[in-house]
Amino acid sequence: DAKTTQPPSMDCAEGRAANLPCNHSTISGNEYVYWYRQIHSQGPQYIIHGLKNNETNEMASLIITEDRKSSTLILPHATLRDTAVYYCIVRVSYGNKLVFGAGTILRVKS
Amino acid sequence: KAGVTQTPRYLIKTRGQQVTLSCSPISGHRSVSWYQQTPGQGLQFLFEYFSETQRNKGNFPGRFSGRQFSNSRSEMNVSTLELGDSALYLCASSDRSASGGAGEQYFGPGTRLTVT
């Protein structure tokens, strides 16, 4: 699985959009980009995933660059409850092994 | 649908003992994966079971083992516990088939194991 690089931490004002970047320059054509988050001491929560096209669901939007070497997770209106560690993961289309990096600690402040 | 459940939620064991943790996946999910989370190493993949067969294994010693039953429930066992085995053990289930395709994994709340 390709390696990902994320900033160690970010701050965001409550109500504003949180944009979390992820670099995955060695991604292969059959690898998906997944985002999970983990609120303190809870199990990770699935947020969104994508292959080539931008994706949106009720939680967030995922923007993948055309060359697929980087992506951005967007939380459109961050709340205090969005404070968590956010993990960007690249994985192949078979099997269920997730390789977690250190992630980005997002702090939403009022 | 009920989520992934793990039992027990908290456990305290003594070095040298063994422990068995249980995971019940979401109904209909046939894949169960196990992860270990520690402050030093972060989240690490232990193994995955699909239809009672171990499909993938992480880089852990043989003291860590698992199994899956016909109803997709899974157990993991750690023998000869060491202090370093203290961790949050997480289970995740998926309806992703063996043939692939994208799909998300749903994690349980974890079992917090403390080895003294």
- A71-105, pLDDT tens digit by residue? 999 999 999 999 999 999 988 656 678 888 899 99
Give B22's strand partners: B7, B75
Q: Alpha-carbon distance A72 to B83, whole Å?
A: 39
Q: Which of A32, A87, A97 sits opposite B102 (nearest CB)?
A: A32
B44 contacts A97? CB cut-off 8 A: no
All residues of chain A having their beta carbon less than 8 Å from the beta carbon of residue B48 are 95-97
B48 contacts A42? CB cut-off 8 A: no
Contact between residue B92 and residue B72 where contact means Cβ atoms under 8 Å apart? no
- Strands A84-92, A104-109: pairing kind: antiparallel
Q: Alpha-carbon distance A61 to A58, whole Å?
A: 8
pLDDT exceeding 90 applies to what percent of chain A? 75
B9-31: average pLDDT? 96
Q: Which of A38, A51, A95 sits opposite B48 (nearest CB)?
A: A95
Nearest Cα residue in chain A from B30: A96
- Asked if the C-beta of A107 comes within 8 angstroms of chain B's C-beta atoms, the answer is no
pLDDT at res. B14: 98
Residue A3's pLDDT band (cuts 50, 70, 90)? confident
Chain B contact residues (CB < 8 Å to A): 4, 31, 33, 35, 42-45, 48, 50, 55-56, 58, 88, 90, 92, 94, 96, 98-102, 104-110, 112
Most confident of A14-28, A92-106, B84-98: A14-28
* CA distance, residue A13 to nearest chain B CA (Å): 27
> Using one digit for the tens of pLDDT, what is the confidence trace for B51-70?
899 988 999 999 999 999 99
- A21: cis peptide before it, omega within 30°? no
Confidence check: pLDDT of B26 > 60: yes
- Asked if the C-beta of A102 comes within 8 angstroms of chain B's C-beta atoms, the answer is yes
pLDDT at res. B99: 47
Q: Which of A45, A96, A99 sits opposite B96 (nearest CB)?
A: A96
B102 contacts A49? CB cut-off 8 A: yes
